[in-house]
Structure 1
Amino acid sequence: MLEVDNFTQNIIEKFPVFIYKTAFFWRWLLLCVLLFYSITQIEAKTDNSKPAQQAESSRFLELWKQARERKLAQHPYWLKLLHFYSFGESVGQWSFKSDVVSAGFFLSANGKTDPEAELKATLKALLSPSVNNPDQDARCKFIARFNWLRSKLDFPEMPKRNCPLFERWANLEDSTGISIIFVSAYLKNPASTFGHLLVKFNSRNRLLGHSLLRPTLNYGAIINPDDNPLVYALRGLFGGYSGSFTDERFYNFNHVYGENELRDMWEYPLNYSAVQQHRITYHAWELLQNVKFTYYFFLDNCAYRMAELLEMAWDDTSRINTSGAIWAIPVDVVFKLQKFRSATNGQSILGSPQLIPSRQRKLRQRVAQLSEMEQTQLKALINSVNHLDSGELRSVPEPSRARILDALLDYLQYVKKENQTLLQQKERNKLLLARSFLPIMENNSSADKPKPPTEGTPPMRFRFGAVVNELLGPAFEVGSWANYHDLLGTESGHLANAEVVTLDLRIQVRENSFEVTHFQLFNIQKYALNPTRISGDFEWSWRARAGWERANFGCLTCRQFRIAGGYGGSVSLAGKDLEYAFVDIFGETPKDSWSATTLGFAPHLGMTWSPLESWKIKLEGGWFKSLVGPKKEYFRSRFDQRLSISQDWDVRLEIERLESLEAKLALHYFW
């Protein structure tokens, strides 16, 4: 018994060791099995992937062979998609390369300068779908490239790829077309002096169907808000800013331009085919992927880039932008679009425009429809909201009262402040409550409706005519300006009572001489009126100009640089006239002596009158007196007439006195 007990005791003592060693063995065995299985699977996958890689390589080589045979790397549309330009075709282009400065836009390291390398890299990326993020797949991110290449090459059958972000943004199934929106000039900001362009994607979708909710594309400079005006101007002129596309709902742009900056907008539907609309939409999506360009105020601006986008409709060499141009302005793009014809019906792709009036125009339209009695009541309400409860207003018939309150609501919206006081909010609520008990009145928005930009004169002008000078005799004059519109010109499609002229050059040719007599860098004038005659609807008139002119008309070579600007007031007494008074500050310096620089002031009186739409008269006189520098005191006057022959032609008679008299009869061609 004792031996058995010892044997049992020995087993009991060694049993845990046995269990531990056995478990250790099985753990190692299990680890070896798992390792063997993993290696086997990796080898199997490697062996299985070899045919897939070979098949993928075979597909790429076949597509690449087709692309080279069909010379797609040099195809105009491929170069459009990559924004490639040759030397001189675009500002800052000194070699054959893309305008895009964002590295992420290119799939090849050499894509910016080598369209063939970019084509090769694009084909490889299209055949290698991204599993993790479908929106970053090449077929989604570069959807315009994919769809065009698929139409040109014999792509193999590929699994369907959904692009959630693009599909939600483009909403192609409910698309009803594309519109271009011309935003009128805004003279308080140099970058908006010639207007602005937007592209709107229209839809019948129940969520995006309203015009204010539709996706709208904008292009602009990415500016530094801390830059002072001088730095801002220099960087804008010489490419110191990047430019990019952004998209927002249209109501954001309507708020900025129509409500805050008081700018009218004109929406033109574009009669593209469905295929052409899709091409534009595809490339717009590509440009929204944080793609940047170098921004130049005069050329690589909103007009140039929006026209470049709309050119994507055509897969040939068709261009809206002029190759080698030194400037691009928004209204010129609209005029050029007018010349393109639809392939289906032969009509212009530019549809009939619709006015989107500014808040100021809405107010003036409302007030213009009021009778004299109603305007009196409106002014009383503006002076005191307590007039709302007066017996005088309550005695007014309900339709008249409704029109008065509608005009008052428009006025309050026009003069609104960002942060209303509690009292102002209560007064507005009280006004809205009173209006809710009155009948709904139709607003005759056709009143004071301006003509669209495409019915005005084109922006550029060529001039030739005859000159008679009482001292120098006769001469022949030629000249041109870069843009845009002068005060004597027809106002159809332009800012009313305004002038924006740049690079106005005139040359007089005589038998023995050839002289530049006038080169104006800019002449910007804004004559503000108060047609409603109510407080809050008032602005000062202002103007500024600079350039080289003759010191007097008795000589040809006595050119001097003159800069002037001032403020004043203007009124219209009969509707088709404008009377104004200004006080200008001016500076003059002759070409050969800075020490002879003169600074002074110059009060002016003037008027314009348009007896007919095609006929306009302008009369202005000013007295100049120096305050600093050589003493000067002289009077300058001029009398001008314009007679329009057609939209593109007019005749002008100009008589001006500056120490001696000079008269000109000139023919103008606008293009």
Structure 2
Amino acid sequence: MMRWAVLAPLLVFVWGVVQAAPDRLPVDLAALQAHAAEQNLADSPQWQALLHYERDWLGEGLHSTVVTDWFFLAPDGRRDPAAELNATLAAFVNGRYIEDRERSAACTFIARRRFLVARLGLDEYALGGEHCEKYQRWREALAPRQISLIFPTAFPNSPSSMFGHTLLRIDSSRRARNTELLSYAVNFAAAAGDDAHGLAFAWKGLTGGYAGIFGLFPYYEKVKQYAWIEHRDVWAYPLQLSDAETDRLVDHLWEMDGVRFAYFFLTKNCSYQLLSLLEVARPELALTEQYSWYAIPADTIRTIADVPGLMGAPRFRPSLETTLRWQADQLDAQQRQLAREIAADEVAFDDPRLTGLSPDARAEVLEVAHDYLYYRLQSDPANAPADADHANAILMARSRIARPSSFAPVPAPMTSPDQAHRTLRVATSAIYEGDDLSLGLRIRPAYHDLLDNPGGYTRGAQVNFLDLGLRVDPGEGELRIDDLTVLNIMSLLPRNDLFKPISFQLDTGLRRRPSANVFDNVDNNLGYYLQGGPGLAWGSDDALAYVFGLGSMDANSALSPGYALGTGASAGVLLHPARWLQLKAETGALEYVAGDDGYYRWARLTQQFNLGRDLGLRSEFGWENTAVDSGLRATIGLQAYF
């Protein structure tokens, strides 16, 4: 008993020391900082990925793309990785409290702390962090098992989405098979609030008028936004990350809560910052180094696909509109009309036109009617209560037909976005015009036009950005700028019994035509132009016919009043007769009704033969008629994509 009486207090003391060890064991801060310096941890790719450092524009130093002050624990931490590392160690050792996060530095910067603990050979809680209850609850709610890259396809009708979008999905270890809608999505976007629309949004996004932030959302919300409301197909690519890499990425997301970044629509956008997250998971990837000038979602997907073993086979989720069009095409014209009338509550469920159909056909009509009504509800929720009640009534009528749906699933496109052509295009061509032969060179940074290989892109959608045309006259040897397309958009949205969309086109930049070729006694100067208008399109993915009303404005120093305003129309056909061939035939006319006098009429046949994913042979044969002269114009050349 005497022995236990002596040992008991000692055992109680030792147990107390063990329990309190993480808080009480002394840590030599100077020794840790010296050890970190010996290993050059501040220069390691993982540390610089965690702080989002990148090279300055001239390459002489570093800066972080983060603009939030509290994210940096050193006064000059945004530009000095070593100073930030020393300050981070000091914050952990001294138990620094982050007021903006209402928690300690050790519980705020989980990924940083775990990186330093591992590289300095410390015990798990030597730098604190053993009492991070909020983080533990957040982590348990996510229960991350796998990360997937998500790509909603391009949506030309929105300036912020004309190039597509990327986000990440965190699949839970508790998720059952085929229940990815219950996962969480990681999205990076401009913090625009109610200002996220129109030309003002596009301008601020281009010029850095917004900050960018990461957000964590239930995945079904993002699917509803992209696939159901914006009617964009969605591709999902599982990423083959190890458990340790997945943990690092998720821990860093916790650190990103409330952190703001410099945001630019063309450079520091969603795709760039998601690449930076993957660099946190696997620093040796160095993915962002390829995107100093601009980052396009489709290109960044292909960059990830180029890393051996990183990206798995994609899964395709069609949008509500894609699904509805696919199902409606399996009905005949009378059945589509009946479905539209049922959706509009113009036909009763006991109408002979419906009851006279076979059970399978009646079920199909009711399914299309419901989905069409739901589509309208998502597109225009003004009549939500009445439409929702009628949608439920259609579902009840469908439920009384005891047959499964006979519609086949929507087939995935033959080419996924990661297998599509690159967006930087360089073209060389021979040009015959006015009995002269010259050489042409075009350079287009982005993105896709109607004659490019359509595989992996949205059919009927064209976006050309900063497309520069140069010409060399072999006789004179003079190089000149022919034109510069700042932005060219064409959206051909086919109409049918259910859908009545308006197509549109917009084209602006610098050009020499119309000038000397259209207006009499005018120098062939470069001038600004703006042209476009609404239109209608009909057909399918393989054959589209379209008409447009056009308005045109030219501002050119060579014009007698300095400008010319025109109005007119165009019509054409776009064909995809084979996977290796695209054809477009177009005719149109512009009459200049104000400013300088003139007219311009044209007819063109353009075709591209795909010689591979990133190489094509394009030719164009056209006739042009102006107030000055008429003649033929022909070009033929190679298109290479990088």
Q: What TM-score does the superposition give when structure 2 sets the normalisation length? A: 0.87
| Paired residue secondary structure (2:561) | helix
Alignment partners' CA distance in 2, 1:80 and 1:518 = 41
Q: Which residue in 2 is equivalent to 1:468? A: 432
| Paired residue secondary structure (2:255) | helix
How far is the alpha carbon of 1:393 from its aligned partner? 2.1
The one of 102, 114, 117 equivalent to 1:147 is: 114
| Letter of the 1:65 counterpart | A
Compared CA separation, residues 284 and 208, structure 1 to 2 (3 A): farther
Alignment partners' CA distance in 2, 1:187 and 1:109 = 43
The one of 342, 362, 366 equivalent to 1:381 is: 342
Compared CA separation, residues 64 and 256, structure 1 to 2 (3 A): same
The one of 276, 279, 298 equivalent to 1:311 is: 279
| Letter of the 1:145 counterpart | R
Q: Which residue in 2 is equivalent to 1:274? A: 243
| Letter of the 2:220 counterpart | Y
Q: Which residue in 1 is equivalent to 2:50? A: 81
The one of 57, 66, 81 equivalent to 1:100 is: 66
How far is the alpha carbon of 1:616 from its aligned partner? 1.6
Compared CA separation, residues 643 and 214, structure 1 to 2 (3 A): same
Q: Which residue in 2 is equivalent to 1:415? A: 376
| Paired residue secondary structure (1:225) | helix
Q: Which residue in 1 is equivalent to 2:167? A: 198
The one of 117, 129, 138 equivalent to 1:169 is: 138
Q: Could you report, residue by residue, the CA deviation over 1:472-499 in whole angstroms, capped at 9, with x for unpaired residues?
A: x222222210111111122211111111
Q: Which residue in 2 is equivalent to 1:125? A: 91
Alignment partners' CA distance in 1, 2:532 and 2:29 = 65
Q: Could you report, residue by residue, the CA deviation over 1:369-414 in whole angstroms, capped at 9, with x for unpaired residues?
A: 3355643542442454543112342232222222221111111111
How far is the alpha carbon of 1:557 from its aligned partner? 4.7
Compared CA separation, residues 154 and 464, structure 1 to 2 (3 A): same
2:512 maps to 1:550: yes
The one of 409, 412, 417 equivalent to 1:445 is: 409
Q: Which residue in 2 is equivalent to 1:243? A: 212
| Letter of the 1:357 counterpart | P
Compared CA separation, residues 367 and 228, structure 1 to 2 (3 A): closer
Q: Which residue in 1 is equivalent to 2:501? A: 539
Alignment partners' CA distance in 2, 1:204 and 1:191 = 33
Q: Could you report, residue by residue, the CA deviation over 1:604-648 in whole angstroms, capped at 9, with x for unpaired residues?
A: 121122221211211112111111101112212322111001111
| Residues 594-609 of structure 1 mapped to structure 2, 5 A cutoff | 595-609=561-575
Say if 1:553 and 1:660, in contact at 8 Å, map to a contact too: no
Say if 1:63 and 1:154, in contact at 8 Å, map to a contact too: no
Q: Which residue in 2 is equivalent to 1:428? A: 391
Pick which of 405-414 and 365-374 moved more: 365-374
Aligned residues: 606
Q: Which residue in 1 is equivalent to 2:149? A: 180
Q: Which residue in 2 is equivalent to 1:344? A: none
Asked which structure has the greater CA Rg, the reply is: 1
Compared CA separation, residues 601 and 54, structure 1 to 2 (3 A): closer
Alignment partners' CA distance in 2, 1:575 and 1:266 = 19
| Residues 440-589 of structure 1 mapped to structure 2, 5 A cutoff | 440-447=404-411, 449=413, 451-471=415-435, 473-511=436-474, 512=476, 513-531=478-496, 533-534=497-498, 537-551=499-513, 557-572=524-539, 576-589=542-555
Compared CA separation, residues 226 and 581, structure 1 to 2 (3 A): closer
Compared CA separation, residues 594 and 360, structure 1 to 2 (3 A): farther
The one of 634, 656, 664 equivalent to 2:600 is: 634
Alignment partners' CA distance in 2, 1:62 and 1:378 = 76
How far is the alpha carbon of 1:450 from its aligned partner? 6.1
Pick which of 440-449 and 408-417 moved more: 440-449
Q: Which residue in 2 is equivalent to 1:356? A: 317
| Residues 60-79 of structure 1 mapped to structure 2, 5 A cutoff | 60-79=29-48
Q: Could you report, residue by residue, the CA deviation over 1:500-527 in whole angstroms, capped at 9, with x for unpaired residues?
A: 1111112112332111112111110011
Q: Which residue in 2 is equivalent to 1:292? A: 260
Q: Which residue in 1 is equivalent to 2:14? A: none
Pick which of 410-419 and 492-501 moved more: 410-419
Gap runs ≥5 in structure 1: 1-47, 342-346
Say if 1:365 and 1:447, in contact at 8 Å, map to a contact too: no
How far is the alpha carbon of 1:55 from its aligned partner? 8.1
How far is the alpha carbon of 1:138 from its aligned partner? 2.8
| Letter of the 1:486 counterpart | D
Q: Which residue in 1 is equivalent to 2:293? A: 326
Pick which of 610-619 and 447-456 moved more: 447-456
Q: What TM-score does the superposition give when structure 1 sets the normalisation length? A: 0.84
| Paired residue secondary structure (2:160) | helix
Alignment partners' CA distance in 1, 2:510 and 2:34 = 61
Alignment partners' CA distance in 1, 2:586 and 2:122 = 71
Q: Please, what is the CA RMSD of the aligned residues?
A: 3.0
Alignment partners' CA distance in 2, 1:164 and 1:524 = 51
Compared CA separation, residues 581 and 385, structure 1 to 2 (3 A): closer
Say if 1:599 and 1:629, in contact at 8 Å, map to a contact too: yes
